[in-house]
Every structure is written in structure tokens, then in C-alpha cells.
Amino acid sequence: MDGSYCQIVARTLAGERPIDEQTHASVAVLAERLERLKSHGGLFANIEFSPDLQRLRERSESISVV
């Protein structure tokens, strides 16, 4: 199921699937993994999500807070 998080987000960003709970959960998992990777420093410290994924992440976070 590891690759499916990326697939879900990629399909959502491509407009092939709706933004739903599965999308929000996948974004959260990928965000957590990115933060863990960045914490190792070095080459990983400057890795960022694409602007489209960042907007989706912000949308997901605002829904989680409500």
C-alpha cells in the first residue's frame, strides 16, 4: 500500500479522482514521511512538495482542524 499513497495523490492532482478522505489521509502520510526525510538533513533538507501538492496539503490541514 506504500506506493498507493503517491498514486492517490497523483490521480487527485491530475483530476482523475475526487478530493476525499483517502486523499487527505494520503497527503498526511506523505507529509509525515517528508518531514522525517528532511530531519536527516544533508541533501534531503531542502526537499519540498510541488506547489499543487502544497495547496492540496493546506486544504487537507484546514479540513482536519475544523
pLDDT at res. 66? 47
Segment 2-54, tens digit of pLDDT: 679 999 999 999 999 999 999 999 999 999 999 999 998 888 888 999 999 99
pLDDT surpassing 60 at residue 55: yes
Q: pTM of this prediction?
A: 0.82
User: What are the counts of helices (DSSP H) followed by strands (DSSP E) for the chain?
Assistant: 3, 0
pLDDT at res. 3? 74
pLDDT at res. 19? 93
Distance CA 9, CA 7 (A): 5
Residue type, 51: P
Compare 28 and 63 and report the one with higher pLDDT.
Answer: 28
